[in-house]
Amino acid sequence: IPILHRVSAMTKRPLSLYASPWTAPAWLKSNEDIRGKGTLKGQAGDKYHKTWANYFIKFLDEYAKHNVTFWAVTAQNEPLAALLTPPEFPTIVFTASQQRDFITCDLGPALARSSHRTQLIILDDQRIHLPLWAKVVLGNATAARYTAGVGVHWYLDGVVPAGRSLGVTHKLFPNHFLLYSEACSGFLALR
């Protein structure tokens, strides 16, 4: 928080921060561990999903107490990465339909009821999942209404051409932005 305040003081325009969760607390997950391939317990609309959605609001509330606001949050960082990563990786597995239902029943309404004007980003994973992920989530009118855009990572960009993933997604959902939300240098020699 002090670093964010220092950076804000040095800029001429406001920072556009976004947050992306890696995992829910162990007691909310099916495997009862912050690591591994667990999903949220239960199903969208139940106490587990509502509690996880409320964690987002509490997170935003606590930062707001320190005059730090977030332009956006993602529903989950790399929701399918847990299927490919080592078991010690902290994550929650979401399919596109699980993310759609969580947004529709829990996270979307929680953000809308809150005092925060924070936008919601879906996917936040490899663009190889597009356009299918967007079709499932944004194809639902309620989920689309709560969602501002699609976050993508670049690690598997060499596998699927941009036109077949980003281009098709943009044509299907031109009112939702596409944002590269994660990248690093030297990850794969394929690049």
Question: pLDDT digit string (tens) for 152-171?
Answer: 998 888 888 999 999 999 99
Please, are residues 67 and 5 in contact by the beta-carbon 8 Å criterion? Answer: yes
5 within some domain: no
| pLDDT for position 189 | 55
Q: Is the dihedral of CA 157, 160, 161, 162 positive or negative?
A: negative
Q: What is the CATH number of the domain that holds 126?
A: 3.20.20.80
| pLDDT for position 187 | 63
Q: Beta strand pairing status for 149-153 and 18-19?
A: unpaired
131 within some domain: yes
156 within some domain: yes
Please, are residues 138 and 173 in contact by the beta-carbon 8 Å criterion? Answer: yes
190 within some domain: no
- Give the closest residue to 123 by CA, choosing from 172, 160, 162, 81: 81
62 is catalytic: no
4 within some domain: no
- Give the closest residue to 79 by CA, choosing from 63, 94, 98: 94
Please, are residues 147 and 103 in contact by the beta-carbon 8 Å criterion? Answer: yes
Q: Is the pLDDT of residue 12 over 70?
A: yes
Domain that holds residue 119: 14-182
pLDDT tens column, 72-112 = 999 999 999 877 778 888 999 999 999 999 999 999 999 99
Q: What is the pTM of this model?
A: 0.94
Q: Is the pLDDT of residue 147 over 50?
A: yes
Structurally, how many domains does the chain consist of? 1
Token pair, residue 175, equals 């009112």
CA distances from 17 to 20, 53, 162 (A): 10, 19, 26
| pLDDT for position 53 | 98
6 within some domain: no
